[in-house]
């Protein structure tokens, strides 16, 4: 098997990369001096993939929301039992997650890597669905959906996405709805599995303390070759305007929760990565914990230390989100908009950009010392079509002029919305 060792001389980091004969992209990142290994087996298939076609389809097909998450649950089951039982034998900690644009299966271990790695590659490639087991799972996931319907932090976030987006499926809960999952059956699960769990649509990443030759041997033994598949995802004509500016819900909370979002123009590949980094720096300059606005809001009691900001991005969506707790969330919104306008008039101080940039760069560098972060970086970079170290080098190259340019068309008040979870009125 031909493989290449990718080295970054500036960072003094290296990893092994190759495409296996089965079609799977593989990244192996051994890290000397670490006691644990972390493996991640992912597919470019998430909750937003609800309309697609392959070369064998005459037209696009629509599937109910929540299928990707449903598949994640079901893949752990087999005729012999569930995969967690196997990992328990080796002492490995196994899990999985479904996001908007990918699904990943993972484990971490301090020993018995070979056996655990074999289990991971085996169960993800061995689906087992029946009408009876699907029906049982509908009840389990239905309970999960109802639980999250009453979870304030979950609802404040998805209520904001519903306000920001008109059509894009990012506005739909990752697990779907009780009604949508009721339309899922075993045939549909097999259809989506064989479409998106094709190894040509997947990636495997291992980081930490493991033997490279041993990992390659397990990969050769366990992977099942598959014919290449072409998946076309239907793009949504999402306008840059917001669907609405305000979303309110009452739940059992002591203090109101809020998310304030600004809808941005999504890009792709390196342009998206650059946008994400520049927006993160811009948001932290304006309202990060070291900003004048943060200190004023905190000292006046309008926010507490739960206040934070993040860039939310993926295929076809990009937004800036500020959130936390406040007894007067709309005043926080007003003060944030005022501060944004202040910076538009006065400009972004270059020294603030450099300060925040160093923080963002340092966080990215520290991530290379964590096996979980490294494995996740390998997977996300591959699916996003950028290099593994591009995030670090792009962050290092950001200038105050880049931030001013980004600011000229970002954080626009007319493309903003607020989502609030209020205490239930007595």
Pull the structure tokens for residue 390.
Answer: 């591009």
What 3-state class would DSSP assign to 321?
Answer: strand
How many whole angstroms separate alpha carbon 52 and alpha carbon 72?
19
* Structure tokens belonging to residue 203: 């990636």
Q: Angle at the Cα of 8 (from 6 to 13), degrees rounded to 5?
A: 85
Residues 216/189, Cβ–Cβ less than 8 Å: no
Minimal CA–CA distance to 325: which of 247, 422, 426, 424?
422
- Using DSSP, state whether 249 is helix, strand or coil: strand
**DSSP assigned state of 77:** B
**Would you call 72 a catalytic residue per the annotation?**
yes
Q: CA of 108: how far to CAs of 96, 103, 105, 216, 232, in Å? A: 12, 17, 11, 18, 33
**Active-site annotation holder among 72, 264, 339, 384:** 72
Whether the CA torsion 344, 350, 355, 359 is positive or negative: it is positive
Q: Please calculate the CA angle 51-195-1 and round it to the nearest 5 degrees.
A: 135
**Among residues 111, 235, 267, which one has the least CA distance to residue 169?**
235
Report which of 64, 55, 383, 46 is spatially closest to residue 231, judged by C-alpha positions: 55
Instruction: Please tell me whether residue 50 adopts helix, strand or coil conformation.
Output: coil
Q: Are 183 and 64 in contact (CB under 8 A)?
A: yes
- Select from 245, 241, 270, 261 the least CA-distant residue to 168: 241
Q: How far apart are CA 44 and CA 314, in angstroms?
A: 12
β-pairing, 231-233 vs 51-54, is antiparallel
- Tally Cβ neighbours within 10 Å of residue 121: 21
The residues carrying an active-site annotation are 72
């Amino acid at each position: 098997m031909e493989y290449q060792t990718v080295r970054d001389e500036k960072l003094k980091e290296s990893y092994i990369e190759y495409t296996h004969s089965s079609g799977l992209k593989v990244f192996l990142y051994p890290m000397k001096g670490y006691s644990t290994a972390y493996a991640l087996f992912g597919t470019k298939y998430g909750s937003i993939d609800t309309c697609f076609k392959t070369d064998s389809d005459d037209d696009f097909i629509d599937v109910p929301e929540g299928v990707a998450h449903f598949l994640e649950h079901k893949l752990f089951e087999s005729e012999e039992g569930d995969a967690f039982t196997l990992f328990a034998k080796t002492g490995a900690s196994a899990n999985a997650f479904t996001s908007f644009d990918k699904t990943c299966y993972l484990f971490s271990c301090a020993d018995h890597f070979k056996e655990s790695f074999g289990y991971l590659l085996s169960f993800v490639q061995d689906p087992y669905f029946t009408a009876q087991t699907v029906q049982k799972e509908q009840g389990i996931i239905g309970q999960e959906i109802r639980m999250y319907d009453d979870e304030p932090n979950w609802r404040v976030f998805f209520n904001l996405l519903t306000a920001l987006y008109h059509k894009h499926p990012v506005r739909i809960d990752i697990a779907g709805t009780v009604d949508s999952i009721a339309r899922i059956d075993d045939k549909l699960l097999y259809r989506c599995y064989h479409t998106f769990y094709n190894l040509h649509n997947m990636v495997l990443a291992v980081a930490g303390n493991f033997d490279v030759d041993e990992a390659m041997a397990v990969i050769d033994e366990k992977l099942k070759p598959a014919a290449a598949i072409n998946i076309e995802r239907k793009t949504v004509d999402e306008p840059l305007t917001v669907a609405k500016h305000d979303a309110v819900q009452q739940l059992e909370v002591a203090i109101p929760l809020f998310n304030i979002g600004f809808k941005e123009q999504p890009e792709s590949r390196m342009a998206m990565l650059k946008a994400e980094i520049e927006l993160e720096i811009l948001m932290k300059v304006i309202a990060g914990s070291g900003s004048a606005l943060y200190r004023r809001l905190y000292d006046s009691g309008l926010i507490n230390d739960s206040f934070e900001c993040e860039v939310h991005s993926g295929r076809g969506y990009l937004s800036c989100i500020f959130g936390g707790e406040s007894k007067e969330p709309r005043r926080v919104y007003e003060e944030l908009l005022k501060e944004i306008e202040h910076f538009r008039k006065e400009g972004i101080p270059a020294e603030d950009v450099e300060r925040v940039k160093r923080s963002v760069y340092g966080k990215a560098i520290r991530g290379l010392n964590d096996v979980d972060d490294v494995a996740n970086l390998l997977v996300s970079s591959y699916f996003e079509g950028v290099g593994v170290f591009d995030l670090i080098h792009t962050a290092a190259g950001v200038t105050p002029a880049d931030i001013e340019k980004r600011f000229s068309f970002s954080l626009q008040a007319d493309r903003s919305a607020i989502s609030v979870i209020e205490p239930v009125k007595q």
